[in-house]
Amino acid sequence: QQAWSAKEISLKPFDVNKKAFDSSTKKDQMVLKGVEKLGPGEKVAYAKIIQFYRKENLADTLKAKEDFLRIYPKSIYADNALYLSGILLMKNGNMGPAIQAFDQIIKEYPHGNKRASAMFAKSIAYKNLNLNSQAIKYLQKVMKNYPGSLESQRAWVELRLLKASKG
């Protein structure tokens, strides 16, 4: 399993003429890339989700995600918010709700940047539940629908591990 960082990102007071916040690490910069396109409230709301996620605070992450999706349902980061909550749910052993979050991404954001990641994460949740046939099905879908992607490469490895554990 992957270790997930709980490092807090830095937030500066908001100034309409400046960026709402600066990230403290390169990882934060990658996560927040493109956020400058969001409105002021949307930036802060998304940054809160990331902060709660990094602190591994499940309850606050889920609440912030719900608030974000209620207020900004068409946000370019809606699928990212769902994905972070799904990963944290999975990490906390809540496989059913995690699978639901990943399903929501797959169905509602077919062209979103987290769809392949959600399909891969869903397969890992199935694997964690010892539902290997469902895990294999989604691993194969990732490889078929997203060839050459990082998720496809990870799916290939997971598929080999699942098949090796059977034999």
Separation between Cα atoms, residue 45 and residue 62, nearest integer Å = 12
pLDDT per residue, tens digit, the chain (167 aa), is: 444 444 444 333 333 333 333 434 554 554 455 555 556 789 899 999 999 999 999 999 999 999 999 999 999 999 999 999 999 999 999 999 999 999 999 999 999 999 999 999 999 999 999 999 999 999 999 999 999 999 999 999 999 999 888 75
Separation between Cα atoms, residue 113 and residue 44, nearest integer Å = 21
- What ranges make up the beta strands (E) of 3-137? none
The maximal CA–CA distance of the chain, rounded, in angstroms, is 61
| Closest listed residue to residue 86, CA positions, set 65, 108, 112, 107 | 65
